[in-house]
Structure 1
């Protein structure tokens, strides 16, 4: 997929949406967290949620897919989210496939790619202002990931998100949102590796 350009308003309401659901494993009664908090930069706040990992940036179709469809595919979606002291938002979610539209992780991954394609098409039409969506390299086989940059946001907002199937057939999603200059304080490929080991 080539980089796409577009512009649009900031998508930080995602944080509020994520806070409304089961994203934090420990808070949801799961034995262990998906991410190693000792390996993260200093954490300011921990939040529950099952609505999806941060990082979808300006891609509304992907945000809607996470919060309204994947998280409701079957009971058991869990996850965690951390607001870091530097303002980055980091999180991980395990989605549970189940019948209907998403019988397995492969169908969920296909839906993720279709949502990003939809956003890229809208972006080319100018629906998002000056923004790009680029695939992430260096992920495990069969994993998909994208970095969404909105240069029309003030400050510039960059979200990176990646998904892969866990050994038990569930779908793991991780992400980070960073605003302003510089780069995010954590690498999405590293987050995905940790989450897959712990899922």
Structure 2
């Protein structure tokens, strides 16, 4: 210990009641791959959505988290339904509550046309005018409602989901790269192909 460090230690000892100069760290440092943090953040966002909007889905937050993650992984509603062991319609309903709209959710009908016609007609009336099944118009109506809710909050919740999952993806890639780079440097120049 040099003279300055010893002097600082003496000052600390005079002022403090304890002779311990160092404090152990109990929290993990950094945020890369912290267990559960992505799931907790997703469920936190889902909880905020529940407070703000009335959900039609009967799925709990855990199942909704699965819907969010698999939606962003590009999985179809059929695939998500299989994993959760629920009807495909329940996945669609959950996605609408979560503002997770796909481009093809409305099927063959034009949403702007349905939106315009719904101002003056019932679902059945719009279906008759467009010569489509009333179920198709009902589905389009749900998509329109989900888009409207998302626009009222400037797509805030969908943006939060994307940020959480992007952060997680970056963390996984950075951690993997760091492990690979560290191992490469540590074994550089060493005989690693050894038979026992």
Is the shorter-chain TM-score for this pair beyond 0.5, marking a shared fold? no
Provide TM-score, normalisation by structure 1.
Answer: 0.23
Please tell me whether Structure 1 or Structure 2 has the larger radius of gyration of its CA atoms.
2
Provide TM-score, normalisation by structure 2.
Answer: 0.23
More helix by share: 2
Relative contact order (alpha carbons < 8 A, sep ≥ 6): 1 or 2 greater? 1
